[in-house]
Amino acid sequence: MSLITKDKIKELYADKRYQTYFDVGLFFVLIFSFHILYVIWNEWLDYWPIKDLVDKLFVWASKLLFDQSTWTLENIFKIDFFTKDQAIWFLNNKGTYSCVSVAPECTSLKQWMHWLFLMLLYPGPWKHKLWYIPLGLVIVEFTNVVRVVGIALFLRPFPNDFALAHDVIFKIMFYVVIFLMWMVWNDYFHHSKARHFD
């Protein structure tokens, strides 16, 4: 039985038949590694040693998300609503009120950190990372606005299905967007297609 050596792994990675498996595998290793580290930092260490800073960032980011979401509902979708304590109240199709509350834990700070962790550790040219990472952070924030607005729009016809919208549809959307941004990076900057951008 032959041992898998570092040279053998490099040889397999160089073979285009296996490259995608290695790339996707590394993506998932980095995503799950960050998730585990974040859980440890959040639940076990309570954001030590910068808890005060993190708490302030969550409050700031939730206010930003709330303002962006209410602006979008008012100016793009022309939805009538009222707000109280960063909660958006609106009439649903059953004639009762539904609510979407934008709490600090609704922010995209965790997804921002996911994206930073992934892109700082994933291979690729740094000259492109310098603009692609900030662009990704903007896209992640935009995705979160879509999530809050999407939940509100979903609750108008389906007021009893908050968990479906919040915990399934729009949570999955976050990670699909991160995966798609990673695919663009992997195909056009990490591998040979990057030469078109050099």
| pLDDT tens over the chain, length 198 residues | 456 676 766 766 676 777 888 999 999 999 999 999 999 999 999 999 999 999 999 999 999 999 999 999 999 999 999 999 999 999 999 999 999 999 998 999 999 999 999 999 999 999 999 999 999 999 999 999 999 999 999 999 999 999 999 999 998 998 899 999 999 999 999 886 544 555
The set of residues, in sequence order, having a beta carbon less than 8 Å from that of 87 and lying 6+ positions away, is 99, 100, 101, 102
Task: Report yes or no: 121 and 30 within 8 Å, Cβ to Cβ.
Answer: yes
Task: Report yes or no: 124 and 177 within 8 Å, Cβ to Cβ.
Answer: no
Q: What is the C-alpha to C-alpha distance for residues 131 and 167, in angstroms, rounded to an integer?
A: 31
Is the sign of the CA dihedral 55, 59, 64, 65 positive or negative? positive
By C-alpha distance, which of 36, 50, 20, 55 is closest to 114? 36
Helices (H) and strands (E) in the chain, counts: 7, 3
Q: What global pTM score does this model have?
A: 0.88
Return the number of other C-beta atoms located less than 10 Å from residue 165's C-beta. Answer: 19
